[in-house]
Amino acid sequence: MTPVLSPENLVNSIPKFISNGTEVLPPYSNIIKEKLLEAEKNEFIFRLARGDGRAKSLKYILDDSILFGWGVKSTHAFLENIKMREFLEPKHISESKIYKLVDMSKNILSKYYYNSPENIDERIELLKAKIKEGSDQERFVLKEFLCSLLHNAQHEQFKDVTPLISTSEGNLRYEKIKFFVKKSTDKYVVLDYWVKKSDENKTFIKTDNINCILAKMGLRWFPNRHNEIMVKYALFPQQLIGYFYYEKNILLHYCVNNHFLKKIQEDLNFKIGDNIYIEQNIDFKTIPFNIIYERSFNRSFSVCARRA
């Protein structure tokens, strides 16, 4: 049986489309709906959803110039200039800071070993030895693995500095996200995003793969009930299609990224998953972030600008 909030059912239930505060009328409202439905069959991308009803987040999400100009940043992008922020920036490697991540992980790991949990100290020391002996690339991989581990476990300290953004993927993504968000707020959005499947481990991490690694280590980990994909650093505006807007659990409209709408108006063959260029002029007086990220051609991240 088709779930109530399958992507197809949800898209077909959209009462109206808006962009830049103005309603999008036919024929483009119909074309947008067709593009959303077609994207569900695009075998080269993952369609992702993320819900948010926090007042602080909604303040800038509902500002189209910020959301569709700059995207949604991880908690890390809002941090003041502290040592942990520097360490969690792309490409930054610090042996001592990776040890800190290992120590932060210890209490979590010790709860979930089902094979010789008393050896946790020994395993931690072995992990630290690998960090010490490993190459920079191996340390970088370990850093990302530990970050995803702490993020996934909602570690009390790490969740306030995490460079990762949780999203849900698959045919049940909207149903799962809406169930989670609607419990805590009357007004919320469900962001509509995509990533290239070929960018796995470059721009995103699949929780299923993390769980497989942990199982091989002898860990019984959290089940992946929400089909989670952890996006690194930011939901970039060129991949943010739009968002579903709800009040009191009623869908009022779908807000379309104005760059996406403009591209459709210019080229009816344009589809979700194609590239969009967005010109950005960094002015920290008008944006709430302390860090702006950029991606190179090979999809690796770096910091483009920091608030002085």
Beta strands per DSSP E along 133-271: 164-169, 187-196, 204-206, 228-232, 234-235, 240-247, 250-256
Q: Which pLDDT tens digit goes with each residue over 61-103?
A: 999 999 999 999 999 999 998 888 999 998 888 888 898 888 8
Q: Which pLDDT tens digit goes with each residue over 220-270?
A: 667 788 899 999 999 999 999 999 999 988 999 999 999 999 999 999 999
- Going by pLDDT thresholds of 50, 70 and 90, the confidence category of residue 149 is confident
Percent share of the chain, pLDDT over 70: 93
Kind and range of the H or E run holding 49: strand 45-52
Is the pLDDT at 300 greater than 90? The verdict is no
Mean pLDDT of 278-304: 89
Q: Which pLDDT tens digit goes with each residue over 164-173?
A: 999 999 999 9
Q: For residues 129 and 137, give the distance between their C-alpha atoms in angstroms, rounded to a whole number.
A: 15
Please provide the average confidence, as pLDDT, over all residues in the chain: 88
- Going by pLDDT thresholds of 50, 70 and 90, the confidence category of residue 218 is low
Q: Which pLDDT tens digit goes with each residue over 125-140?
A: 877 887 888 888 888 8
Give the SS3 label for residue 202: coil
Supply 41's token pair: 């069959």
More confident residue, 240 or 300: 240
DSSP structural state of residue 75: G
pTM, to two decimals: 0.90
Which residues, including other chains, have CB under 8 Å from residue 237's CB and lie 6 or more apart?
A: 67, 68, 69, 70, 71, 257, 259, 278
- Going by pLDDT thresholds of 50, 70 and 90, the confidence category of residue 1 is very low
Q: What is the pLDDT of residue 257?
A: 97
Output the CA–CA distances (angstroms, integers) from residue 46 to 92, 146, 198, 253, in the order listed. 28, 24, 10, 23
Output the CA–CA distances (angstroms, integers) from residue 54 to 63, 100, 182, 187, 267, in the order listed. 14, 30, 11, 9, 36
